[in-house]
Structure 1
Amino acid sequence: MADEQHIEDQDLGTSPSRINDPRIRHEISRAIVWVAVVGTVVLAVWIARPLLVIFGAMVFASMIDGGSRLLGRVLDIGRSWRVAIVLAASVAFLLWLGYFAGATISQEAAQFPAIIERQLGELLAWARTQGFQIDQDHLQNYLGNIGSGISTVTRALGGILGGVATVVLIGVIGIYVAIDPMLYERGVAWMLPREQREPFYKTAARMGQTMRRLMAGRLLGMVVEAIFTYVMLAIVAPLIGIGAVPMAALLAILTGLLAFVPNLGAIISGILMVLVGFSGGVEMGLYTIFVYFFVQNFDGYVVIPMIAKKTVDLAPALVLAFQLIMGILFGILGLFLADPLLAMIKVALERRAERAEEDQLEKGATNGA
């Protein structure tokens, strides 16, 4: 009987499925870990765009929810009615904007590319007079390569249903979530362990509050920049003898829309404004530079600090770096959602630090007792 047990032990020791060498087992464990990491990264890349669309819907829902809460302070009606009023007002504004753009600035929009191209040509000519050897054909090739690269990145939006369908999908999901957000919050909490549900509710509440205030501040900044730009270009400029800046309405709308993307949006709108300004002469061009810095400084030193006190104060360099990364990975959609996503990551990290501190205090109190 002992001999049979000894033979069985030997068979088990020499089985191909059993590895006795600890070094080999360690290397196999490392290989499994690396395979799991690579698989997780591939899965994350595969589902990143659908998740980004869902996050975009959450951002849209927070904007609707914020408007509904503001209406709730003055209108004692149900939440569904308040959400419907916010959506109706938003649709009416978009229709008015489309009508205004079509009836007022359609010709300006058609002339806009020609003015920009002419001003770039004059800028190149001035650079040559200063001794810079710049070949316009090479520059056009570079711009073409950049444009093709941007279009390639922008086509990342088509990974789900296409650009327009993606926007529609974000809107539909956002409306459903805005109508009854607690339903989806309870659904997510139900999938978590019981002891994790209360911290999840606190984190979700903090994120929701931060997102609403962030989006409210963003919309306020867009409106302020658009109004100030139009007033300075179309009203103040003639009063001081410079004359109305061409395409003031179009520039104001572009400045307001691009203000949704911090840092990068301001740079793009400023370049366009200055190029159009110099088409009316050096004096007008210098005035548009002044308008750009005035509007951006007012927004940066008055509007943004007021908003940052009640939201997440993000470092500009960190926001810009994250925007570049998200823009390269996911195109226009990633660029627009970079700032809200970074704010949510910061809130989650802050909540995690708070929970760790609370756990340490509880352990200290338990040990002291």
Structure 2
Amino acid sequence: MAQRDNDDREMGASPASITSPELRFEAARALVWTIIVGLVILAIYISQSLLVIFGAMVFASMIDGGARLLGRWLPIARPWRVTIVLAGGTGFLVWLSMYAGSQISREAAELPEIVEQQARELFLWARGQGFEIALDDLKGMAGQAMDGVGTVTRALGGLLGGLTTVVLILIIGVYVAIEPRLYERGVAWMLPRTRREDFYLTAERMGYTMRRLMFGRIVGMVVEGIFTYFMLMLYGVVTGDAIPMPALLAILTGLLAFIPNIGAVVSGVLMVLVGFSGGTEMGIYTIVVYFLVQNIDGYIVIPMIAKKTVDLAPALVLGMQLIMGILFGILGLFLADPLLAMIKVALERRSEQNARDEAAVSGESDPA
């Protein structure tokens, strides 16, 4: 053993060791930056999977909100309340597919034809007003309109086409909703002890904000869908001339209500296009219906559910939607608003922690 120590001393320092403190500091800093860049690259590489996990968290918050609401009247175990919420949602989807599935499919098949007809009539009207529009321009506009309509009508189909993603979101969301504290403790265990209380408080605020946000979206979707359907049906009852595809327009209006700003515009354009296919009077009526739906949702439903607790700037939400939609498609568009709300809560909590730390430092430095 003594001979080995002597040999080590004769060999000198390892070429991997850094004796200079300055070089050691720079090497440590370079290592930190390398790790940060590597984590960013890894996050980009697995961004789709992270978005699926976040979608599961959003779904879990919806189930959690329903279970908490049932807990006010049913003093039973949480797994049973979660089961009731899931059974109710599944029953509604089964009823919708059984009683309205065939009708909606027929109406969805008719929608592109109506859009094409409206584009042709718009072309003829513009020519009559003296605008020189070539037939190629008409085909281009019709093609763009068809692409837009196809994107909207295939939104639900696109989700169903990504069956694996949907199944993963549902399964992970159900597991988290059944026992959320288990996963909170698992994440907190990986944090330093001094930061665990802050994590629990941040998670609690995020959960509260997410439940409020999702509750508002669900109520808004239901109100807009039902109100749109009855208003469109009312026109047929009063005038005897029914508006085409009321069920499809109501469902699209309800689904698109989940997406702030963009969803309202898209559903309104579709409703007005279909309305004008039945004449000017019907088209004007659909415009009135659209504004009634948006005003009821904006001035009655939203204040009642206190959605302003999220307090997100509309321009910021729209920018986030555009970015997420380009990066991740329809799933990113649906999750843009919840993700922005969670980022806002995290930044607010970080600001509170910094203020608390500064107050603690100033208190220690105070001689008094």
TM-score range, shorter chain: 0.7 to 0.9
2:272–2:286 CA contact under 8 A, matched in 1: yes
1:64–1:178 CA contact under 8 A, matched in 2: yes
Structure 1 pair 141/95, CA: closer, same or farther in 2 (3 Å)? Answer: closer
1:322 aligned partner: 320
Which ranges of structure 2 fall in alignment gaps of 5 or more residues? 1-11
Structure 1 pair 242/322, CA: closer, same or farther in 2 (3 Å)? Answer: farther
Q: Which moved more, 1:90-99 or 1:35-44?
A: 35-44
Structure 1 pair 263/366, CA: closer, same or farther in 2 (3 Å)? Answer: same
Structure 1 pair 119/73, CA: closer, same or farther in 2 (3 Å)? Answer: same
Aligned-residue offset at 1:331: 0.7
Aligned-residue offset at 1:127: 3.0
CA distances 1:47-87 after superposition (whole Å, capped 9, x unpaired): 11111100000000000000000110111111010000000
Q: Tell me, in whole angstroms, the C-alpha distance in 1 between the residues paired with 2:205 and 2:38.
A: 32
2:253 aligned partner: 255
Amino acid at match of 1:224: V
CA distances 1:24-45 after superposition (whole Å, capped 9, x unpaired): x98x999878766654432221
CA distances 1:285-305 after superposition (whole Å, capped 9, x unpaired): 011011111111221222223
Q: Tell me, in whole angstroms, the C-alpha distance in 1 between the residues paired with 2:278 and 2:80.
A: 49
Aligned-residue offset at 1:268: 1.0
Q: Secondary structure at the match of 1:105?
A: helix
Structure 1 pair 230/145, CA: closer, same or farther in 2 (3 Å)? Answer: closer
Q: Tell me, in whole angstroms, the C-alpha distance in 1 between the residues paired with 2:148 and 2:235.
A: 37
User: For 1:274-313, what aligned pairs fall within 5 Å after superposition?
Assistant: 274-309=272-307, 311-313=309-311
1:214–1:307 CA contact under 8 A, matched in 2: no
2:71–2:81 CA contact under 8 A, matched in 1: yes
Which ranges of structure 1 fall in alignment gaps of 5 or more residues? 1-10
2:219 aligned partner: 220
1:351 aligned partner: 349
Q: Tell me, in whole angstroms, the C-alpha distance in 2 between the residues paired with 1:364 and 1:18.
A: 38
Q: Tell me, in whole angstroms, the C-alpha distance in 2 between the residues paired with 1:43 and 1:145.
A: 34
1:64–1:86 CA contact under 8 A, matched in 2: yes
1:78 aligned partner: 77
Q: Tell me, in whole angstroms, the C-alpha distance in 1 between the residues paired with 2:351 and 2:245.
A: 50
2:181 aligned partner: 182
Aligned-residue offset at 1:101: 2.2
Q: Secondary structure at the match of 1:314?
A: coil
Q: Which moved more, 1:195-204 or 1:137-146?
A: 137-146
Structure 1 pair 147/231, CA: closer, same or farther in 2 (3 Å)? Answer: closer
Amino acid at match of 1:253: I
TM-score, normalised relative to structure 2: 0.84
Q: Which moved more, 1:182-191 or 1:103-112?
A: 103-112
Q: Which has the higher contact order (CA 8 A, sep 6+)?
A: 1
**Superposition RMSD in Å:** 3.2
Q: Tell me, in whole angstroms, the C-alpha distance in 2 between the residues paired with 1:366 and 1:18.
A: 38
1:124 aligned partner: 123
Q: Which of 270, 273, 278 is the equivalent residue of 1:272?
A: 270
Aligned-residue offset at 1:125: 2.6
Q: Tell me, in whole angstroms, the C-alpha distance in 1 between the residues paired with 2:16 and 2:49.
A: 44
- Give aligned-pair identity as a percent: 63
2:115–2:146 CA contact under 8 A, matched in 1: no
2:6 aligned partner: none
Q: Tell me, in whole angstroms, the C-alpha distance in 2 between the residues paired with 1:145 and 1:287.
A: 26
1:242–1:284 CA contact under 8 A, matched in 2: no
Q: Which moved more, 1:307-316 or 1:85-94?
A: 307-316
Q: Tell me, in whole angstroms, the C-alpha distance in 2 between the residues paired with 1:254 and 1:300.
A: 18
Amino acid at match of 1:331: G
Q: Tell me, in whole angstroms, the C-alpha distance in 2 between the residues paired with 1:162 and 1:249.
A: 22
1:133 aligned partner: 133
TM-score, normalised relative to structure 1: 0.84
